[in-house]
Each structure stands twice: as C-alpha cells, then as structure tokens.
C-alpha cells in the first residue's frame, strides 16, 4: 500500500520544459481558400515566439493567446507570404495596450520593406547567416538557405530539445548545417517531384531525403502550394524519409 502510494506520487515531467510548435498558417507562396501564409507559434518553456507572420496568421494567433503574450518574432525572409501580418501585430500593439516594443529578429531586407517609421512598436534586430540570438529560454541560430536574396533557416534550442525550420529553400541547402540532434525538422515541401527545378523550393521527395540525411527524429512538411495534392507530397516525403511524416495544418500542435 505504502509502496503503491509512493509510486503514484512520483513527479511527472515538467511541461514547462517542453517545446511546443503550433501551426498558424502553412500555405506556400499564397494562401489558399480558408488558409494562411507561413506562421508558427513556438513555446519554449515560458518563452513564446512567433516564427514568421504570413497573411492570415495573426487572426489565428488570437484564437490561441493574447498577442501581448508573444515575447518576440522571428522572420525568415522578405517575401510577403512570410511577414506582412507584422503590420496587424504592430497596429494591435499600439492600440491594444502593449507596454513595450515587440522585438523582431529578421534579415535587413524585411525591416526595409516594413519601414521602421511606419512600425514604431516593432523593435528591429538584424540577423544574418551565422547570427545567434538568446530570446528568453530559447536560443536561436540562423543559416542562409538556397532561396531569393537572404533567407534564413533557424535552429531553436531550449529545454534540452531542438527544433529546426528550413524556411524557404531550394535543393542546394542541407539541414545538416543546423547541427545534429534535431528532435523535429519543420521543412518546406512545396510540390511534388514533377515540379522540381521550376522554382527554388523543395518537393516532398527532396524534403524527405534532406531530413533523413540530417538525422532528424521527426519531419513535419509545410509550405505546400494550395493547388498541389497534399497526400502526394506526403507520400513522396515518407518514401524518401524512410518513416512516417507529419503534415502541417492550421491549429495542429507538435510537442517535442
């Protein structure tokens, strides 16, 4: 009896140590019907990050948390499907009572396009290839990808876990540069193999092969063009990865 009571009282894992990824939007290049551009809520212990802020993501964010709870925003690059909801976030911050500016970590081109004079409640921090940033309980490392101008993949470490995000990239970038021990790789898979070479993006086949070469424990594919069949992309990715592949969808949550 006493021994049983002692076993039941054993402490459970502290959920504060978890890294939790929640999809706010995952459509590639343009939002499909009812969809949203790239955007992900990342909780690292008590730190809350927004990873990209494409069109439609701010509306989804508000169904999950109060916007003032976001500690910082990380933007991968200047293409509009990855950042334009920063305008909505900044406007809400000004009129919604945010007490301090919202830090934004992004390549220089993003700030240029957003125009800091128009966004006074955003506090811009320029990052580039090789940059590192400590944001609360999260540690972020940035690496340039194979995409237009400066696009940055990011590795987020915290709580003994590691999340990798490819951002947008073509096949000349390899997630191994994010380092070993990736518990989850969030990797673009924009289309199927028949489209390879038509744009600087990855097919499902290429995404799966890249994740396998990097030794990622889990692969979540994202950034699919709304006109491309989701099942076909996932089947390609699974065949190349050599195991189950999860697909991003609005509201879907992944715990590392």
pLDDT digits (tens, 9 = 90+) for 82-138: 999 999 999 999 898 777 899 999 999 999 999 998 899 999 999 999 999 999 999
Task: Tell me what pLDDT residue 5 has.
Answer: 32
Q: When comparing pLDDT for 69 and 97, which is higher?
A: 69
Report pLDDT for 87.
Answer: 96
Q: Which fold has domain 15-255?
A: Metallo-beta-lactamase; Chain A (3.60.15)
Q: What is the mean pLDDT of residues 24-45?
A: 97
pLDDT at 17: 73
**Concatenated DSSP letters for 160-185?**
TEEEEE--S--TT--GGGG-S--SEE
- The band of 7, judged by pLDDT with boundaries at 50, 70 and 90, is very low
Given a cut of 60, whether residue 3 has pLDDT beyond it is no
Buried b (16+ CB within 10 A) or exposed e, 57-87: bbebbeeeeebeebbbbbbbbbbebbbbbbb
Residue 242 has pLDDT above 90, yes or no: yes
Residue 72, pLDDT score: 98
Point out the least confidently predicted range of 6-15, 150-159, 176-185, 209-218: 6-15
Instruction: Quote the mean pLDDT of the chain.
Output: 93
The domain limits of the chain are 15-255
Q: Of 253, 238, 255, 256, give the one whose Cα is nearest residue 26.
A: 253
Question: Nearest CA to 256 among 153, 199, 181, 201?
Answer: 181
Percent residues over pLDDT 90 in the chain: 88
pLDDT at residue 204 tops 90 = yes
Whole-number pLDDT of residue 16: 55
39-44 vs 19-25, strand pairing mode: antiparallel
Q: Read off the pLDDT of each residue in 164-192 and give the average, rounded to a whole number.
A: 97
């Amino acid at each position: 009896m006493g021994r049983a009571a002692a076993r039941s009282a054993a402490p459970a894992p502290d959920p504060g140590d978890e890294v939790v990824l929640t999809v706010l939007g995952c459509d590639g290049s343009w939002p499909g019907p009812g969809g949203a551009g790239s955007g992900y809520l990342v909780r690292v212990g008590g730190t809350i990050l927004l990873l990209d802020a494409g069109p439609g993501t701010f509306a989804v964010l508000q169904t999950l948390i109060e916007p003032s709870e976001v500690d910082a925003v990380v933007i991968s690059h200047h293409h509009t499907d990855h950042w334009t909801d920063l305008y909505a976030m900044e406007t809400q911050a000004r009129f919604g009572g945010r007490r301090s500016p919202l830090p934004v970590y992004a390549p220089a081109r993003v700030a240029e396009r957003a125009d800091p004079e128009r966004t006074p409640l955003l506090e811009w921090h320029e990052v580039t290839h090789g940059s590192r940033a400590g944001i609360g309980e999260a540690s972020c490392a940035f690496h340039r990808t194979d995409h237009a101008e400066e696009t940055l993949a990011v590795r987020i470490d915290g709580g003994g876990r590691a999340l990798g995000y490819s951002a947008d990239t073509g096949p000349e970038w390899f997630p191994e540069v994010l380092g070993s021990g990736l518990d989850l790789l969030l990797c673009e898979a924009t289309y199927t193999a028949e489209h390879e070479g038509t744009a600087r993006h990855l097919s499902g086949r290429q995404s799966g092969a890249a994740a396998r070469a990097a030794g990622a424990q889990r692969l979540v594919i994202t950034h699919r063009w709304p006109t491309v069949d989701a099942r076909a992309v996932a089947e390609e990715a699974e065949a190349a990865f050599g195991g189950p592949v999860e697909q991003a969808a609005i509201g879907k949550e992944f715990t590392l």
